Structure 1
Amino acid sequence: MELRHLRYFAAVAETCHFGQAADQLHVAQPALSYAIRQLESELDVTLFNRTTRQVELTAAGEFLQTEAARILGGVDDAVRGVRRIAAGRSGLIRLGLTGTAAFSHLPRIARVVKRELPDVALEIRADMLTPDQCDALRAGALDLGVLRPPAVGADVLLRTIEVEPLILAVSVDHRLAVEPVVSMSDLRDEPFVVYGSRDSAVNAAVLRSCREAGYAPHQEHRAPGTAVLLALVAAGLGVAVVPQSVRALPLDGLVFRDLLDAQHVELSLAWRTGEDNPLLQAVLDLLTTALLTDSVGRQR
């Protein structure tokens, strides 16, 4: 049974008139009549009772009309779905984020994708450091990452979406908590709480900032992620220099202060080299525009 024959049958069943159905289908009436006879012959049933005055569905024809509507509806849905996927409008994106980006950027990412690409689902993996995201991208376990450059290893492409200043996090009872602005030199004798990963882009920027101020930081504690890092600072076990987006994680016993002379860190979208998924490209373009616009707006 050809889909063409099924569509012809559905048109005749709806109109109960071969001439009207032929006009609707933009085919010649003799060709339509021949196609219906072919279908009846293939099924070995009579689908229409025909007289010189009217065309009526038989019981078998009524059953096929219901089934044809279901089948053709499913085919049309499949065609639309395939076209949405090919156009980058439908599917699944597996997204990894650094600890801070999960708090500062994930809500905006989820909102804009839901609004602009409602048939795209996001599978989220949060609190992933840059090396882990790069490994997952190369292995095909992630489609897109939000990470701190530089990328670790080869075959990962980056697109910068934000440049953030570093700020100071201290406990509320720390001597610097009362200062509105702090200099890196003010931290010379302080114990630092830093990220545990040796490849942390934030740690590298903090180290450069300290060296420019003329000292090497005393790294008292290492934390596996941002939440633990801030908890250690709030407990008074040290100070931390962190990206500005960490302000999105308020914590009792903790205050943030601007730093005059600290480095900046970048936040980038990351994906594997050679990726030709149209859905990924659509999400990349959408997020680049949305997040860069948000970033410029916050800097003004």
Structure 2
Amino acid sequence: MELRHLRYFTAVADTCHFGKAAERLHMAQPALSHAIRQLEAELGAPLFTRTTRQVRLTPAGEFLLGEAQRVLDTVEDSVRGVRRIADGRLGLVRVGFTGTSAFSHLPRIARAVKRDLPGVAVEVHADLLTPAQCDGLRNGDLDLAVLRPPARGEDIDLHTLEVEPLILAVPADHRLAVEPVVSMADLRTEGFISYAAKDSVVNDAVMRSCQAAGFSPHREHEAAGTAVLLALVAGGLGIAVLPASARALPLAGVVFRDLADAGTVELALAWRRDNDSPLVRSVLEVLEAALAPQPHEVSR
């Protein structure tokens, strides 16, 4: 039995007329009648009762009709699925996020993929530093990454999402909390709260900004992530310099101030250059359009 036999059979069952079924199938009626007789012979049971005036399904035919429709529907679903995979519109994409970029950019990423690629699921890998994300892209654990450049190696391509200025976070009762303008030099005697990770791009940017102002920061405390870092600031344990997107995480007891002469940090969408997956390419096209630079979001 071949799929064409099931299609022939369902066409006759739907129309209860060999001539109309043959027209629907764009074939000659004698050829269709012969194919149905072959199917009946193979199954060992009549599928239709035929008279000069009408064609009706037998009990065996009624049973086969339900099964045939299920089989043909499954085949059609499979064909559509394969085509959608080939077109990059069906599958699972794994995305890494550095620091709290999951809070600032994941909502837009998820919304854009759901809207434009409803057959694609997003698997989130959060709180990864840039080196770990680059390794994930290379070994195939990640398809895309939202990271802080620079990316190590020449096999990673980047699409800049935004360039953020560094800002100041101080306790609400700190002397600088009411200053309209703060410079890096004003932080010379302050105790800093920094990220604990040794590979933190933000820490490096803060160090460069402090050195450009003529001093090295005195690090009093370290935090594993931005939420803890801000909680330590709120507790009066020190000040922090971090990307402007930290403002998206307001916390009672913390005041944010612009820094007149601080540096910047970049956030970028990254992927392996030789990744020729249609799925990854489709998601990239959607995200590059959806994630146009916007006012400020965080990572470490």
- Normalised by the length of structure 1, the TM-score is 0.93
Gap change, CA 1:75 and 1:248, over 3 Å in 2: same
The superposition leaves residues 182-241 of structure 1 with CA deviations (integer Å, 9 ceiling, x where unpaired) of: 111111111111112222111111111112212222222222211221122222222111
Partner of 1:86: 86
Indicate the percent of aligned positions where both proteins have the same amino acid.
69
Give 1:180 shift: 2.7
Query: Is 2:160 the counterpart of 1:160?
Result: yes
Alignment of 1:1-300 (within 5 A): 1-153=1-153, 155-292=155-292, 295-296=293-294, 298=295
Give 1:156 shift: 2.7
Give 1:154 shift: 5.7
SS of the residue 2:175 aligns to: coil
Greater shift in the superposed pair: 164-173 or 218-227: 218-227
SS of the residue 1:237 aligns to: coil
Give 1:173 shift: 1.2
CA distance in 2, matches of 1:261, 1:253: 25
Give 1:6 shift: 0.7
- Normalised by the length of structure 2, the TM-score is 0.93
Structure 1 stretches lacking a partner, 5+ long: none
SS of the residue 1:286 aligns to: helix
SS of the residue 1:93 aligns to: strand
CA distance in 2, matches of 1:43, 1:116: 46
Contact 1:247 1:256 in 2 (8 A): yes
Give 1:15 shift: 0.3
Give 1:13 shift: 0.6
CA distance in 2, matches of 1:37, 1:184: 89
CA distance in 1, matches of 2:168, 2:233: 10
CA distance in 2, matches of 1:180, 1:112: 38
Gap change, CA 1:50 and 1:166, over 3 Å in 2: same
CA distance in 1, matches of 2:257, 2:85: 46
Letter in 2 for 1:273: R
CA distance in 2, matches of 1:120, 1:58: 44
CA distance in 2, matches of 1:3, 1:281: 34
Aligned length: 296
CA distance in 2, matches of 1:220, 1:152: 30
Give 1:62 shift: 0.7
CA distance in 1, matches of 2:126, 2:210: 29
CA distance in 1, matches of 2:153, 2:226: 23
Letter in 1 for 2:90: S
Contact 1:8 1:36 in 2 (8 A): yes
Structure 2 stretches lacking a partner, 5+ long: none
Give 1:138 shift: 2.1
SS of the residue 1:260 aligns to: coil
Contact 1:100 1:245 in 2 (8 A): no
The superposition leaves residues 225-273 of structure 1 with CA deviations (integer Å, 9 ceiling, x where unpaired) of: 1122112222222211111111111111111111111111111112223
Letter in 2 for 1:75: V
CA distance in 1, matches of 2:83, 2:154: 33
Contact 1:104 1:246 in 2 (8 A): no
The superposition leaves residues 141-166 of structure 1 with CA deviations (integer Å, 9 ceiling, x where unpaired) of: 22211110111356432221111111
Letter in 2 for 1:225: G
CA distance in 2, matches of 1:81, 1:128: 32
SS of the residue 1:118 aligns to: coil
CA distance in 2, matches of 1:180, 1:140: 48
